[in-house]
Amino acid sequence: MIVDLLILTALLIFVLGAAMKRDTVKAAIALALASIMLSVLMFRLASPLAAVFELSVCAGLITVVFMSTISLTKPLTVLEEERLHLRGRHFAVLPILVLAAAGLLVMVGIPTDLALPQAASAQDVRSVLWNERQLDLLGETLVILAGFFGILVLFKDKPTGVGRTGAAWLKAERFRKEKSDETTKVESNQPDPAIRV
Instruction: Looking at residues 91 to 150 of the shown chain, list those that interact with other proteins (rule: CB under 8 A).
Output: 91, 94, 97-98, 101-102, 105-106, 109-110, 112, 114, 116-117, 119-120, 122-125, 127-129, 132-133, 136-137, 139-140, 143-144, 146-147, 150
Query: Between 73 and 184, whose beta carbon lies closer to other proteins?
Result: 73
Residues with Cβ within 8 Å of 84's Cβ and at least 6 positions away in sequence, in order, are: 75
CB atoms within 10 A of CB 62: 14
- Cα separation, 150 vs 40, in Å, equals 33
- DSSP state, 59? I
Binding residues for other proteins restricted to 12-41, rule: CB under 8 A: 12, 15-16, 18-19, 24, 27-28, 31, 34-35, 38, 41
DSSP state of 122: P
Angle, in degrees to the nearest 10, between helices 2-20 and 24-44: 160
Binders of other proteins: how many residues, by CB under 8 A? Answer: 86
Residue 49 interacts with other proteins (CB under 8 A): yes or no = yes
To the nearest whole angstrom, how small is the minimum distance from the Cβ of residue 179 to other proteins?
A: 23
